[in-house]
Amino acid sequence: MAINDSAVVPLYQQVKDDIRAAIESGKYKTNEKIPPEPELSAEYSVSRITVRRAVEELCAEGYLIKMQGRGTFVSKPRIHRKFASGRGTASFTETCKEYGMVPGARLLNRQIVPVRKDEEAFFHVGPDALLIYIQRLRTADGQPVFLENLFLPYEPYKSLMSENLNDVSMFDTIERISGLRPATTSCQRIEAVRASAEQAQLLNLSLGEPLLYLNAYFHDQYDHPLCIGRQYYIGSRYMFEF
């Protein structure tokens, strides 16, 4: 594509539109690596700063994904997950299957932890209560999507300390153990944060890449407190609907 220096449309926008058109037409296919900045800069006869802005915006919009030490790749379509009030909340596993993707989970950490003040209030427990903390890396078709941090009361769910939690749905596992299932959420908070060194390594991102932090309190089908989720999502791969 020839870039028009005299056009009203900014140069970065012209580059962005052309790369997006190449993705949508199939010239750049899903999971394919796009040319590096120097090559794109030469191809479009624009500065690397212009190319970088175009690529960063396409990453933010979910068309591209940067992988630490590997380059920039065409991303899969964003996963849309619905958090409902008054009806069932779909699990990540269910949502992946709706999109024809294979859900995955790798257990990273599992331990018994003391309850915090906000957790006391939600679970209606005293300051000496214990919780189970479970951290997993969730993937779709083998590609990292988010870090899952789940907190549940210890006593009713202590069997989770010995359960196989790799490549299983936590919602399904909780239901199998207790007959209860996350149905609605409350006190949801979403904010933009930057990936720490540990998060970047686990999610295969560059240090400081933007993440979406979700803090959600889940209630069961009887509207009783069930669990707390504190998750870190790659924004270019995930979208929430409320």
Q: DSSP labels for 48-75?
A: HHHHHHHHHHHHHTTSEEEETTTEEEEP
Confidence of residue 180 (pLDDT cuts 50, 70, 90): very high
* pLDDT of 88 above 60: no
Which runs of consecutive H residues, i.e. helices, occur in the chain?
11-25, 37-44, 48-60, 92-98, 117-123, 154-157, 170-178, 197-203
Nearest in space to 228 (alpha carbons), one of 241, 215, 212: 215
- The correct answer on CATH 1.10.10.10 for the domain covering 11-74 is yes
How many Cα neighbours within 13 Å face the side chain of 211? 27
Q: What is the pLDDT of residues 93-112, one digit of tens each?
A: 888 888 788 999 999 999 99
Could you name the CATH architecture of 79-241?
3-Layer(aba) Sandwich (3.40)
Beta-carbon neighbour count of residue 129 at 10 Å?
15
Pairing of strands 210-219, 130-140: unpaired
Q: Give residue 207's pLDDT.
A: 85
Q: What is d(CA 16, CA 13) in angstroms, rounded to the nearest whole number?
A: 5
pLDDT at 116: 94
Residue ranges matching CATH 3.40.1410.10 in the chain: 79-241
Question: What average pLDDT is seen over the chain?
Answer: 88
pLDDT tens digit sequence for 13-26: 999 999 989 988 88
| Cα–Cα separations (whole angstroms), residue 207 to 195, 203, 211 | 6, 10, 11
Q: State mean pLDDT over 172-179.
A: 95
